[in-house]
């Protein structure tokens, strides 16, 4: 194999791993939805019946069925999305026909979710696919199976089970920990365990036991995307993003950290062992040495949540008050901006948003997403890029660790509109919203592409014609590689703050930075300087406005 093939294979395997991670997350939720429908998951319930009916309708489930029957039929249909289907993934029908035509011509329209990932790994085996371009096209297809498949399933089923997010006020940073309460950190990416912990933390018997041991209550705080999930729906505060997970334990005030999967540092159990903190793993697919493992299933979720909280409460007695140091005051934030809540705030249609874009008050929108990267000063890329974009009247939609970074910087308060350009500032003040809208966890990047698809449909254009862009200033996870690929394949120009591992191949690098645009209407750019990255995005947005016949700067 030459350099082009090796680089293409390595990137493709990275994308496949990311797509598999998000899609397996989605599968866990589908399994739980089925268990709820069959009465096998005590503690869980159907919460958003309107969304259940709407999504079930997309999959051909007969209208008018009782909710549990609808849920069962939908769960079985969603399971089929993971296998070998005849045709393409159902959620791709949310896209304009022009986008689907582009995919069909390139042979990248996603079929079964697991099919694409399995084929990707097969192609990168020794002696199979030895055409770098062909390998990269399958990488895009695998990513699309995530974005318009596994991740979208995760988002939609989470909303059905736990509620579609609505704007909610909360707080962020390590200061949300309480020196006089039992502190439990919820870390990882799946809401299934954390929702049960949240239920148990409100149990009067457990609260009374905490008081008997000298605590004033039970305080939950989130890390990474599990934290974002319960923040968006319940207003549970965020202790921080990816690079805070060790620091939170060092406060000496954490009785337990409960993790599910993804983005959990292997070092965390070692940090916990230096303090009284209990470190719990809950998924058999994500075990850590030195952890206490309590295996989760939909059937035992409620009991597991209670056991986790009970052990954390009992552990309060072991806290050494002399070692407690909580260094910061919490920062206020507003989150919970699902597509549905944004449209509701606009009066039930995306029309007012489109009018604000046409009038030039809002120049366009940018999805700023992704990880913290240990090679970059924490949050530097996220916050500085976001500030530059809102100052240029570009509405920012964020998720994941970016969302937490921007919240810590005070950009999630309505008063942050003062930092926006005059047009965006006026819109935000009229609606009482911040200029940076928190749309959820990393699987919830599907909310952003769904919103783009809805706007494109309303305008009668393809996604690559919209004045929108995406950025991942501090990415490093394999999931972020998959997200970036499905964004570009969906027609969204994407700026990376860290170069992917492709520089060993001029052909692969040129394809990503230039060649894709002729076929997909979008491409990648790489720029570590957030000011220069903002200039790229602003220029792109203004160019798209000009092409649509709108005023351009």
For range 200-212, the mean pLDDT: 99
Task: State the pLDDT confidence band at 328, using cuts at 50, 70 and 90.
Answer: confident
For range 318-323, the mean pLDDT: 98
387 is in which domain, residue-wise? 336-547
Dist. CA 223–CA 231, nearest whole Å: 10
CB-CB contact of 505 with 3 (8 Å)? yes
Secondary structure class of 203 (helix, strand, coil):
coil
Structure tokens at 451: 């919103």
Task: State the pLDDT confidence band at 330, using cuts at 50, 70 and 90.
Answer: very high
For residue 322, is pLDDT > 90? yes
In terms of domains, do 289 and 418 share one? no
Domain boundary among 141, 162, 183: 162
CB-CB contact of 110 with 490 (8 Å)? no
- Quick check: is 461 in a domain? yes
Task: State the pLDDT confidence band at 524, using cuts at 50, 70 and 90.
Answer: very high
Dist. CA 151–CA 91, nearest whole Å: 11
In terms of domains, do 307 and 383 share one? no
In terms of domains, do 342 and 436 share one? yes
Task: State the pLDDT confidence band at 530, using cuts at 50, 70 and 90.
Answer: very high
Task: State the pLDDT confidence band at 332, using cuts at 50, 70 and 90.
Answer: very high
DSSP state of 236: P
Dist. CA 499–CA 495, nearest whole Å: 10
In the chain, how long is the greatest CA-to-CA distance? Answer: 68
For range 214-240, the mean pLDDT: 99
For residue 85, is pLDDT > 80? no
Quick: pLDDT tens for 28-74: 999 999 999 999 999 999 999 999 999 999 999 999 999 999 999 99
CA torsion through residues 475, 106, 89, 95, sign? positive
Neighbours of 243 (CB within 10 A): 18
- Quick check: is 459 in a domain? yes
Q: What is the mean pLDDT of the chain?
A: 98
**Proportion of the chain above pLDDT 90, given as a percent:** 98
Least Cα distance to 478 among 138, 7, 10, 5 occurs for 10
- Quick check: is 92 in a domain? yes
> How many domains are contained in the chain?
3
Domain boundary among 130, 162, 194: 162
For range 520-546, the mean pLDDT: 99
- Quick check: is 330 in a domain? no
- Quick check: is 198 in a domain? yes
Please tell me the predicted confidence (pLDDT) of residue 387. Answer: 99
Quick: pLDDT tens for 136-184: 999 999 999 999 999 999 999 999 999 999 999 999 999 999 999 999 9
- CB < 8 Å & 24+ apart, contacts of 196-199: 196/43, 196/301, 196/302, 196/304, 196/305, 196/306, 197/258, 197/305, 197/308, 197/309, 198/230, 198/234, 198/236, 198/305, 199/43, 199/302, 199/305
In terms of domains, do 183 and 277 share one? yes
In terms of domains, do 227 and 137 share one? no
Tally of helices (H runs) and strands (E runs) in the chain: 23, 14
In terms of domains, do 301 and 193 share one? yes
- Quick check: is 455 in a domain? yes
**Proportion of the chain above pLDDT 70, given as a percent:** 100
Cα dihedral 438→443→448→453 (10° resolution): -160
Radius of gyration of the CA atoms of the chain, in A: 23
In terms of domains, do 36 and 114 share one? yes
Please name the helix (run of DSSP H) or strand (run of DSSP E) that holds residue 85, with its range, or none: none
Dist. CA 314–CA 317, nearest whole Å: 6
Indicate which CATH number applies to the domain containing 234: 3.40.50.2030
In terms of domains, do 521 and 374 share one? yes
For residue 97, is pLDDT > 90? yes
Structure tokens at 24: 């397996």
For range 325-336, the mean pLDDT: 96
In terms of domains, do 183 and 136 share one? no
| pTM of the predicted protein model | 0.98
For range 238-257, the mean pLDDT: 98
Least Cα distance to 238 among 384, 403, 396 occurs for 403
- Quick check: is 396 in a domain? yes
Task: State the pLDDT confidence band at 479, using cuts at 50, 70 and 90.
Answer: very high
Sequential DSSP letters for 243-300: GGHHHHHHTS--SEEEE-SSS--TTHHHHHHTSS-EEEE--TTS--TTPEE----TTT
Domain boundary among 323, 355, 377: 323
Query: Any idea which residue has 């052909």 for tokens?
Result: 507
For residue 84, is pLDDT > 90? no
CB-CB contact of 75 with 30 (8 Å)? yes
Least Cα distance to 164 among 287, 339, 319 occurs for 339
- Quick check: is 417 in a domain? yes
Sequential DSSP letters for 365-391: EEEE-----TTS-TTHHHHHHHHHHHH
In terms of domains, do 126 and 192 share one? no
Quick: pLDDT tens for 51-61: 999 999 999 99
In terms of domains, do 68 and 194 share one? no
Task: State in Å, rounded, how far the first CA of the chain is from the last one.
Answer: 47
For residue 10, is pLDDT > 80? yes
In terms of domains, do 310 and 355 share one? no
């Amino acid at each position: 194999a030459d350099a082009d093939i090796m680089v293409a294979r390595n990137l493709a395997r990275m994308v496949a791993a990311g797509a598999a991670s998000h899609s397996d997350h989605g599968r866990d939720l589908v399994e739980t939805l089925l268990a709820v429908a069959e009465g096998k998951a005590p503690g869980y319930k159907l919460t958003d019946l309107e969304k259940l009916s709407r999504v079930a309708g997309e999959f051909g489930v007969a209208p008018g069925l009782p909710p549990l029957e609808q849920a069962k039929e939908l769960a079985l249909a969603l399971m089929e999305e993971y296998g070998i289907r005849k045709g393409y993934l159902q959620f791709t029908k949310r896209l304009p026909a022009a986008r689907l035509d582009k995919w069909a011509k390139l042979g990248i329209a996603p079929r079964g979710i697991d099919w694409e990932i399995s084929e990707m790994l097969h192609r990168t085996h020794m002696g199979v696919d030895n055409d770098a371009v062909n390998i990269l096209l399958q990488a895009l297809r695998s990513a699309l199976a995530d974005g318009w498949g596994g991740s979208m399933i995760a988002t939609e089923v989470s909303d059905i089970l736990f509620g579609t997010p609505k704007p909610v006020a909360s707080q962020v940073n390590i200061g949300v920990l309480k020196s006089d309460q039992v502190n439990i950190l919820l870390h990882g990416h799946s809401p299934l365990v954390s929702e049960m912990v949240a239920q148990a933390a409100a149990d009067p018997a457990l609260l009374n036991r905490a008081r008997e041991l000298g605590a004033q209550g039970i305080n939950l705080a989130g890390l990474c995307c599990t934290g974002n999930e319960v923040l968006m729906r319940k207003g549970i505060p965020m202790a921080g993003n990816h690079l805070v997970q060790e620091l939170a334990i060092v406060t000496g005030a954490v009785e337990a950290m409960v993790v599910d999967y993804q983005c959990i540092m292997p070092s965390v159990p070692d940090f916990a062992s230096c303090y009284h903190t209990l470190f719990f793993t809950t998924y058999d697919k994500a075990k850590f040495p030195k952890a206490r493992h309590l295996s989760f299933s939909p059937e035992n979720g409620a009991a597991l949540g209670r056991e986790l909280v009970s052990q954390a409460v009992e552990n309060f007695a072991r806290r050494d008050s002399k070692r407690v140091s909580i260094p910061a005051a919490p920062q206020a934030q507003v989150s919970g901006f699902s597509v549905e809540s944004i449209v509701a705030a606009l009066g039930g249609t995306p029309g007012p948003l489109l009018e604000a874009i046409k009038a030039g008050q809002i120049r366009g929108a940018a999805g700023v997403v992704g990880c913290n990267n240990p090679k970059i000063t924490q949050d530097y890329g996220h916050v500085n890029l976001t500030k530059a974009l809102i100052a240029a009247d570009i509405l920012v939609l964020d998720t994941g660790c970016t969302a937490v970074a921007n919240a810590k910087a005070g950009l999630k308060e309505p008063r942050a509109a003062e930092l926006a350009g005059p047009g965006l500032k006026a819109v935000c003040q009229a609606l009482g919203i911040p200029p940076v809208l928190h749309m959820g966890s990393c699987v919830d990047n599907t909310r952003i592409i769904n919103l783009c698809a809805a706007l494109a449909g309303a305008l009668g254009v393809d996604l690559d014609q919209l004045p929108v862009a995406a950025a991942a200033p501090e990415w490093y996870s394999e999931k972020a590689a998959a997200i970036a690929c499905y964004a570009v394949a969906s027609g969204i120009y994407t700026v990376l703050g860290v170069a992917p591992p492709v520089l060993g191949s001029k052909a692969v690098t040129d394809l990503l930075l230039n060649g894709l645009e002729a076929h997909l209407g979008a491409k990648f750019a790489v720029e570590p300087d957030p000011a220069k990255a903002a200039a790229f995005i602003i220029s792109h947005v203004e160019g798209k406005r000009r092409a649509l016949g709108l005023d351009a700067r």
